[in-house]
A and B are shown apart, each in its own frame.
Chain A
Amino acid sequence: MTPSVAAVLGLVAMALISLLAGLFARRYSRTTSDFMVAARAVPPRINAAAISGEYLSAASFLGVAGLVMQFGYDVLWYPVGYAAGYLLLLLFVAGPLRRFGAYTIPDFAEGRFDSPRFRRLAVILVLVIGFFYALPQMKAAGLTVETASGLPYWVGVVVVAVVVVTAVTGGGMRGITLVQSLQFAAKIFAISLPAFLLLLHFGGPATPFAAARGQLVRLPVSTTYRVSRGELWQLARTTSLNVEGEAPVLWSRDDPVRAPGAVTAEVGDTPAPSSPLRGSKHLLLFGRQRIPAGTLVWGGNATVLVPKGQPAPFGSATPASSTSSWSAPFGPLAGGSGHPLLFTYSLILAIVLGTIGLPHILVRFYTNPDARAARRTALLVLVLLGAFYIWPPVFGALGRALDPSLYGNNLTDAVVLVLPSLLGGWLGQLLLAVVAAGAFAAFTSTLSGLLVSLAGALGHDVYGRWLRPTASAHRRRVAFQVAAVGAGGVAAALGLMVSQFDISVLVGWAFAIAASSFFPLLVLGIWWPRLTTRAAALGVALGGGTATLSIVTTMVATLSPQVEDFLARSSGLAVILAQPAIVTVPLAFATMVLGSLLRPGPPSGVAAKLVQLHAPELLGLRSDYIPE
């Protein structure tokens, strides 16, 4: 947990590479088409790397590992769902959407239904989803810089905002495509190599599960833990440790600490009546101690050194999750809700279907030359994502076995960033630099994609199509750049306020909103000729609106005890508000289908639109909605 020079160097190196690549690409981006869709000329291999680079956000690089460490098995639905979303994108959207040949999703909404008003509704949702998705990236930026260098949280947020805004205003889509494909390479290297070496060093993938059953894992290097009040350690054997200063301990078992020099004393507050620690002994530890096997609960903040060769203290988020429930299905995440099966299915739906509705991911398909390339790109993305997503859970599981102070300090999101130091020496330092650089690549590449999407919505959809349809190409490009600066600033400001939410949970919410709005719009808009404009718009507004409302309620509940109490009394409602997809996705679908059947009347020229979406390129009928 101590700041590391190597990690700071890793961050600075990645920031410089990203900045330079962005500036380099600047020379090649001139036209609006360059800025919006990279002139529709990105070959599948580069595009797949860029898409994967953009898609593997901080939630994938840091958040999944952190959540696995906290909640275990149930979290595996996140990485699998993220990857599976791409399969659905390939199956239902990739080819036809590319054939349509627009710049943004609001373009599709307007073009498919011949309705400028639909564009405005779509723009609002692009902005909501985009900003929601940007928040966890900002949190990751703050957290990474804080962990690596000890600088305050806001420094990371500001630095990343500056790097990303520079790349996007300079090169637009064409510029970031180059940067993002480089960043993908950095990320897959940075996650797989350290995870592989850690596994090798600590006895393979069985170690975390063995440690959970009380088997011994020895520390390969002397390790300093910053413990905090309430932090729980399980010791497999008698362990020597060295307390710097003095540390209060709540000993949860009946037998007293038989450590020489330990003094029984009242320390701090007595645990709450409901606490499992009630009635436990309070001790003060200082200096070198030998602690017998068992469960140890720290009663205050202290620095504790566990020497090389000693048993690694094994931790858990709460006393309740210290049992085997962590490694079994329906553990603390899904099981805690009281409706584990409902919770799990809703989570799967939100993640898998949400991918199909993420505007910043969808627009990337417009950068392909044609539908054939779009399909092949999506397939390659599946390969790249699979190769990546095997690794983050490894970090999470090992973190549980090796570094309990992450639980105590509420820093499980940082497990990827700190675990390599356990390898010790120059290798540990080198790998710290590598993971720091990988994390930086993760949130900057996602943020640059988001910023293109947000700036596109504001500069192209709002300014160029809605406010000033007659503006010159030059003014549109300036509008795009101004919008990028503004959106970056707002995202950074919001990012300063979300440090207490889990990264993956925040991303899950963006997915739920996307799944409830753009997913049904695209799937029905592409495949169902009878969809009417009115029903589609109503479905998007209702699905997106209710999902946003549910999530905002849950966020308010996290911050306000009264609302949380109210929700706790009706757990079914709380589950649905926190994971609304299982209700809001069918709601949006039903609205679109029933609305279209009750008041039929698809928009005029729907046959032509369907030809445009589905006619194979080989027929030579090609025409892009925005031809340039």
Chain B
Amino acid sequence: MASTTPPSSSGLREFSEQTEVGGIFLQALMRRQLRLSLGVAAVFFAFLGAQPLLSTVWKPWTRWEVLGVPVTWVVLGVLSYPLLVWLGRHYVRRAEEVDEEFTDLLG
């Protein structure tokens, strides 16, 4: 692990040289990022996973239609995509914030 620039502060040095304190910093960072990712993933998996379940336990919704197209088709085949983009955008913003806060903390 060769640094391209020499660490400029004590926090950064602890971090880059993997001291015990640096390890705690790293753990905190990873935990925040992972919690963010898991949360966003959970939202989408709930959206996907609920649909087959709903079709099994509550048939009526498979017969609903909007403008002649079954609602099941619209929800899965169209609405999934804006939801994906929205979740992705939310994640990128938050992940960059976490990175920046962490940098400020060490810097």
Contact mask A324-349 → B, CB, 8 Å, 1/0? 00011110000000001100110010
Q: Is the CB of A87 within 8 A of B87?
A: yes
Chain A 93-127 interface mask (CB, 8 Å, partner B; 1/0): 00100000000000000000000000000000000
Cα distance A623–B72 when bound, in Å? 48
Give Cα A83 to B91, complex, Å: 16
B52 lies within 8 A of A341 (CB): yes
Which A residues touch B37, using CB under 8 A?
A: 91-92
Residues on the B chain within 8 Å of A378, using CB: 88
Q: Which segment, of A27-35, A151-159, A201-209, A228-236, faces chain B? A: A201-209
Does A327 contact B33, Cβ atoms closer than 8 Å? no
Judge whether A16 is part of the interface by a CB distance below 8 angstroms.
no
On whether the beta carbons of A382 and B88 are closer than 8 Å, the reply is yes
Of B2, B92, B102, which is within 8 A of A376 by CB? B92
Min CB distance A144 to B, Å, is 24
* A469–B1 CA distance with the chains assembled, in angstroms: 21
- Which range contains the number of B residues in contact with the other chain? 35 or more
When each residue 71-99 of chain B gets 1 if its CB lies under 8 Å from chain A and 0 otherwise, what string results?
Answer: 01100111011101101110110011001
List residues of chain B with CB within 8 A of the CB of A330: 52, 55-56
**Given that A83-B84, A204-B68, A618-B100 are known contacts, is A390 also in contact with B78, CB under 8 Å in the complex?**
yes
Complex formed: what's the CA distance from A77 to B68 in Å?
Answer: 21
Within 1-40 of B, Cβ neighbours of A (below 8 Å) are at: 1-5, 7-8, 12, 15-16, 18, 22-23, 26, 29-30, 33-34, 37, 40
- The answer to whether A608 and B70 touch (CB under 8 A), given A83-B81, A386-B84, A616-B103, is no
Distance to closest chain A CB from B38 (angstroms): 8
Any chain B CB within 8 A of the CB of A598? no
Q: Does A612 contact B (CB under 8 A)?
A: yes
Q: Contact at B5–A620, with CB atoms within 8 Å? A: yes
Docked-complex contact A206 and B67, CB < 8 angstroms:
yes
B3 touching A341 by the CB < 8 A rule? no
Q: Return the chain B residue nearest A348 by Cβ.
A: B48
How far does the alpha carbon of A390 sit from the alpha carbon of B73 in the complex, in Å?
11
Query: Are A611's CB and B68's CB within 8 A?
Result: no
Contact of A611 among B15, B55, B77 (CB under 8 A): B15
Tell me the residues in window 467-512 of chain A with beta carbons closer than 8 Å to chain B beta carbons: none
Q: Does A530 contact B (CB under 8 A)?
A: no
Report the separation of the CA atoms of residues A256 and B28 in the bound assembly, to the nearest whole angstrom. 78
Question: Is the CB of B46 closer than 8 A to any CB of chain A?
Answer: no
Given A616-B103, A618-B100, A619-B103, decide whether A84 and B84 contact each other with a Cβ distance below 8 A. yes
Q: CB-CB < 8 A to B5: which residues of A?
A: 620-621
**Distance in Å from the Cβ of A397 to the closest Cβ of chain B?**
8
The answer to whether B77 and A390 have CB atoms under 8 Å apart is yes
Q: Tell me the dominant secondary structure on chain B's binding face.
A: helix
User: In this complex, what residue of B is CB-closest to A389?
Assistant: B81
> Hey, which chain B residues are within 8 Å of A615, CB to CB?
15-16, 26, 29
Chain A residues closer than 8 Å to B22, beta-carbon distance: 607, 611
**A345 adjacent to B49 (CB under 8 Å):** yes
Instruction: Tell me, yes or no, whether A457 is within 8 Å of chain B by CB.
Output: no
The answer to the question of A622 belonging to the interface, with a C-beta cut-off of 8 Å to chain B, is: yes
Residue pair B69, A209 in contact (C-beta under 8 Å):
yes
What string of 1s and 0s marks CB contacts (under 8 Å) between A525-558 and chain B?
A: 0010000000000000000000000000000000
Interface 0/1 of A596-619, CB less than 8 Å to B? 000000000101101110111111
CA A618 to CA B106, docked complex, whole Å: 11
Q: B51 to chain A: closest CB distance in Å?
A: 8
Cβ B78 vs Cβ A527 within 8 A = no
Measured CB to CB, the nearest residue on chain A to B27 is A529
Task: Report the Cα distance A385→B22, complex, angstroms.
Answer: 40
CA of A447 to CA of B51, assembled, Å? 34
| B68 with A209: CB separation less than 8 A | yes
- Kindly state the separation between the CA atoms of A90 and B16 in the bound complex, as whole angstroms: 25
B34: chain A residues within 8 A (beta carbon): 527
- Kindly identify which residue among A95, A204, A611 contacts B95, using a CB–CB cutoff of 8 Å: A95
Residue pair B62, A328 in contact (C-beta under 8 Å)? yes
Known: A344-B52, A619-B15. A209 touches B70 (CB 8 A): yes
Q: Please, how many angstroms separate the alpha-carbon atoms of A619 and B101 in the complex? A: 11
Within 8 Å CB of A608, what residues of B? 1, 18
Q: Are A616 and B100 in contact (CB under 8 A)?
A: yes
- CB neighbours (8 Å) of A77 from chain B are 76
For B16, give the chain A residue with the smallest CB separation.
A621
Q: Chain A nearest CB: distance from B103 CB in Å?
A: 4
Closest to B4 in A: A622
A393 within 8 A of B: yes
Given contacts A348-B49, A390-B77, is CB(A375)–CB(B4) below 8 Å? no
In the complex, A76 has a CB within 8 A of chain B = yes
Cβ of A55 to closest chain B Cβ, rounded Å: 14
Q: Note all chain A residues with C-beta closer than 8 A to B56.
A: 330, 340-341
- Least distance between B72 CB and chain A CB atoms (Å): 6
Across-interface contacts of A92 in B (CB, < 8 A): 37, 41
- Contact residues in B for A386 (Cβ distance below 8 Å): 80-82, 84-85
B106 to chain A, nearest CB (A): 6
Q: Are A607 and B88 in contact (CB under 8 A)?
A: no
| Cα(A605)–Cα(B29), bound, Å | 18
Q: Give Cα distance in the complex from A275 to B21, angstroms.
A: 74
Q: A327-B73, A340-B52 are in contact. List 15 more A-B contacts (CB 8 A).
A: A77-B76, A80-B48, A80-B77, A84-B48, A90-B88, A209-B68, A209-B70, A328-B70, A330-B52, A390-B78, A527-B30, A611-B26, A616-B99, A618-B107, A619-B15
Closest 6 CB pairs of A and B: A206-B68, A386-B81, A616-B99, A329-B55, A91-B37, A607-B18
A-B contact pairs, 13 of them (CB 8 A): A80-B80, A90-B92, A91-B41, A92-B37, A328-B72, A341-B52, A379-B89, A386-B85, A605-B1, A610-B26, A611-B15, A612-B1, A621-B3
